[in-house]
Amino acid sequence: MLSRIAESLFWIGRYIERADDTARILDVQTQLLLEDATIDEAQTCRDLLSCMGIEPADAAEASVDMFGAVTIDQVLRLLAYDPQSPSSIAAIIGSARESARGARETLTVPLWEAINTTWRPIPSGHFEALRPPYIFSWVRERAALINGTADATMTRDEGWQFIMLGRNIERADMTSRLVATTALSSGAGQWTSALRASGAYDAFLRTYRGIETDRAAAEFLLLDRLFPRSVVFALDRAEQALVNLTGDPRRAGFQDEAQRLIGRTRAELEYRSLTDLVEDLPDEMERLQRTCAAATDAISRRYFAGSEALAWKGVGA
């Protein structure tokens, strides 16, 4: 496969997952602000920006209220509506469509149409006219349509493996951001919100038989081997995609740098004491994000001619 096409497919997987997860996080946080008047809006905004790798200096040009705090409307502009903001859903969908154009000859017709149709409301201005919570459900539905169309219409060849690799690296990264931000927050019910943002709440209740604790929620989002949005599940799928791309699955040991990085991190998470892991979740999640970035660099060096990624920072970077 041409490196240009492989790179485009990899980033289609990442961008669609990033748009989906961004919408999930914004949906839950904006709903909490509407339902609970005791929540500190300014702190929630700071947490959201931190979760998405936007530091206060990066948002310096954003409009603020009379007290100098970034408002939820401004956060929505930065993370949802503004095509010029690299972390916004609008910009991410635009990048996914550009990646799809680069791999047009490899994508199935239904998959190209699903991606292109999702992008059309952005230049037309219709996307900006959508308001919460409808915009978030629309993004999730479109992401599900794109992912489902890929699952249903693509053969499981190298192209498919690159999409799965991108999707699962991004999923591990985004879940780690959500966990880090939740661990830093002192508000009541934040872990329940994190579970809801990940679409994990119902699965979590069934797994833990309705017993909700912060420790159990962190364990589920990080270590559950059966839930598809947990960090360990996503890393395992990314590692398997690399095995499928690099050659004989019977070979022992890692076959490239990205596989080594992802496999080592997955093993450390799975076999480490949960008590040690949760003692300093923000730092642990920052380390995981650095691993995802390093693995992406290693994949780019081995398979791709160049890099088309949007800038993507870690919490606390």
Mean local confidence (pLDDT), 155-180: 95
Q: Is the pLDDT of residue 224 over 80?
A: yes
pLDDT band of 252, cuts 50, 70, 90? low
**C-alpha distance from residue 222 to each of 18, 58, 299 (Å):** 18, 29, 24
Q: Please state, as a whole number, how many other Cβ atoms lie within 10 Å of the Cβ of residue 162.
A: 27
pLDDT band of 8, cuts 50, 70, 90? very high
In a 13 Å sphere around the CA of 307, the CA atoms on its Cβ side amount to 12
Q: Is the pLDDT of residue 306 over 90?
A: no
Q: In this predicted structure, which of 34-43, 61-70, 124-133, 178-187 has the lowest mean pLDDT?
A: 61-70
**C-alpha distance from residue 63 to each of 74, 82, 112, 125 (Å):** 7, 13, 37, 21
Mean local confidence (pLDDT), 294-317: 70
Inter-residue contact 20 to 27 (CB < 8 Å) = no
pLDDT value at position 246? 83
Mean local confidence (pLDDT), 290-307: 89
Q: In this predicted structure, which of 134-138, 198-202, 251-255, 262-266 has the lowest mean pLDDT?
A: 251-255
The type of residue at 114 is: A
pLDDT value at position 61? 55
pLDDT value at position 315? 43
pLDDT value at position 313? 52
Q: Is the pLDDT of residue 229 over 70?
A: yes
pLDDT value at position 67? 45
In a 13 Å sphere around the CA of 152, the CA atoms on its Cβ side amount to 10
Domain spans in the chain, listed from the N-terminal domain onward = 1-154, 156-303
The angle subtended at Cα 221 by Cα 32 and Cα 284, nearest 5°, is: 100
Q: Is 71 strand, coil or helix?
A: coil
pLDDT value at position 96? 98
- How far, in Å, CA of 313 to CA of 311, rounded? 7
As a whole number, the mean pLDDT across the chain is 88
Mean local confidence (pLDDT), 246-253: 63
The angle subtended at Cα 192 by Cα 188 and Cα 195, nearest 5°, is: 150
Q: Is the pLDDT of residue 130 over 90?
A: yes
pLDDT band of 253, cuts 50, 70, 90? low
pLDDT for 62-119, tens place per residue? 545 444 578 899 999 999 999 999 999 999 999 999 999 999 999 999 999 999 999 9
* Long-range contacts formed by 189-196: CB under 8 A, 24+ apart: 189/32, 191/217, 191/218, 192/217, 193/28, 193/29, 193/32, 194/28, 194/221, 195/220, 195/221, 196/28
Q: Is the pLDDT of residue 310 over 70?
A: no
pLDDT for 27-37, tens place per residue? 988 888 887 77
Ramachandran bin of 51, using left for φ above 0, alpha for ψ from -120 to 50, beta for the remaining angles? alpha
Q: Over the range 231-261, which residues count as b (16 or more CB within 10 Å of their CB) and which as e? A: bbbbbbbbbbbbbbbbeeeeeeebbbebbbb
Q: Please state, as a whole number, how many other Cβ atoms lie within 10 Å of the Cβ of residue 41.
A: 15
Q: Is the pLDDT of residue 317 over 50?
A: no
